[in-house]
Amino acid sequence: MKPSLLVHRIGRLYTLDPDAPDLGEAPNMSVAFEDGELSWIGPSAHAPSAEQVIDGSGLIGLPGLVDPHTHAVWAGSRSDEFARRLAGESYSAILEGGGGILSTVRATREASREALAADARARVAGLRSHGLTTVEIKSGYGLDPATEARMLAVAGDLSDTVRVVRTFLGAHAIPAEFRGDREAYVEQILTEQLPLCAPLADCIDVYCDRGSFTLDESLRILEAGKALGLTLRAHAEQVEYTGIAAAAAELGATSVDHLERIDHEGIAAMATHDTVAVLLPGAQLYLKDASPPVETLREAGVRMAIGTDLNPGSSPVHNPWTIATLACILQGLTIDEAILGMTRNAGLALGRPDLGWLGPGSVADLALFAPPPGEPDTVASLVQHMGAHRAVHLVMDGQLRIEDGRSLSV
């Protein structure tokens, strides 16, 4: 049977195939799709004929990009807080006054499912325009059973736009009404939120840090999620070192995220258990924080992924290409590491080895980008020129989802 779609004469294709050297880079390649699957990949001279042919000449081909860490469902605005912080007010002072994450929680609880979905859909469409075909989305602005479940339902509704991986994050913060009795809130997560949310989620995450959840509380919550079959993740070692990275790695977490303050023991545990380090340079930039120890992670052989951490406060960043550039400049990743971090390693962070590469056994997602004007058709030119890259064509599950997105360029 004829393939339904052929993306032909791609100027330079990076397959990110785990069996290929470097990034699986080759010029003048074609990729064919049939029945929602990748059916052929190889030099353009040998390409099969197909019902629909898209011209990839002059373009850079990559697997559909993967964002392994977002908080893309929320209501309310924190732009006023940004102005206050620029004027010198601290985040802790803003939080004391009921702002910060607590203001997002209030607004999200009050928002209808339809209102939450409309904004989140627009955000995810924006991410997709930059070549993302898989986006992880967390709950964590409800902090009560009904709102946590509503956030996950909204995230699931967006799967007609991109492939969504849903993460339950009831342990994002202690809500205001439980400030005097944190144990009661942990109990609510375990006995009310988890039973309701686990069927709506793929992963479970905890925010283990000063002022949030302790190591003991975090491990109880992760263990309960593991018993329900959820993939484990953790916000780890961001503000203060807690030991969660090592403990979560030992428990089987696929990723630990942030890691600004991780130590050698945590890195050794991650290397032993093949836990992915998800780096979030947007939060590092907005919080003017220290960089995670990338050189030590690299030397230990820990895989690194990068995420937008898209959220209304500490990382309101809507573009994975901006994150790639920041990961290189602020954190010291190489260009190849940044590309791996937004493709194959991001898939592994989500426990999905089929994401973020092109070949037999991968999902059928392909993103095509034009090099910046006057630049060569290489990933180096995409990463050096910060952010201004929209997918020209985008294939997801073998279907053409964006055709000639250049007309959308700004």
CB 69 to Zn ion: min, Å = 6
| Tokens of residue 242, six digits | 């807690």
Residue showing tokens 């904004």: 119
CB 304 to Zn ion: min, Å = 16
CB 134 to Zn ion: min, Å = 17
Choice between 200 and 283, CB closer to Zn ion:
283
Applying CB under 5 A, the residues found at the interface with Zn ion are: 309
Choice between 17 and 136, CB closer to Zn ion:
136
| Tokens of residue 198, six digits | 């686990």
CB 67 to Zn ion: min, Å = 12
Choice between 25 and 209, CB closer to Zn ion:
209
C-alpha pair distances (Å), 220 with each of 185, 247, 273: 13, 11, 20
| Tokens of residue 91, six digits | 């985040």
Q: What angle do CA 150, 68, 242 make, to 5 degrees?
A: 90
Choice between 255 and 362, CB closer to Zn ion:
255
Q: Are 400 and 54 in contact (CB under 8 A)?
A: yes
Exposed e or buried b for every residue in 219-240, given b needs 16+ CB within 10 A? bbbbebbeeeebbbbbbbbbbe
Q: How far apart are CA 407 and CA 96, in angstroms?
A: 46
Q: How far apart are CA 166 and CA 153, in angstroms?
A: 9
CB 233 to Zn ion: min, Å = 10
Give the CB-nearest residue to Zn ion.
309
Choice between 32 and 234, CB closer to Zn ion:
234
Choice between 129 and 139, CB closer to Zn ion:
139
Q: How far apart are CA 65 and CA 76, in angstroms?
A: 28
H or E element, residue 246? helix 244-251
In terms of C-beta density within 10 A (0-12 exposed, 13-18 middle, 19 or more buried), how is residue 110 classed? exposed
Choice between 148 and 309, CB closer to Zn ion:
309
Exposed e or buried b for every residue in 136-152, given b needs 16+ CB within 10 A? bbbbbbbbbbebbbbbb
Choice between 305 and 379, CB closer to Zn ion:
305
CB 17 to Zn ion: min, Å = 30
CB 308 to Zn ion: min, Å = 10
CB 34 to Zn ion: min, Å = 38
Q: How far apart are CA 217 and CA 211, in angstroms?
A: 12
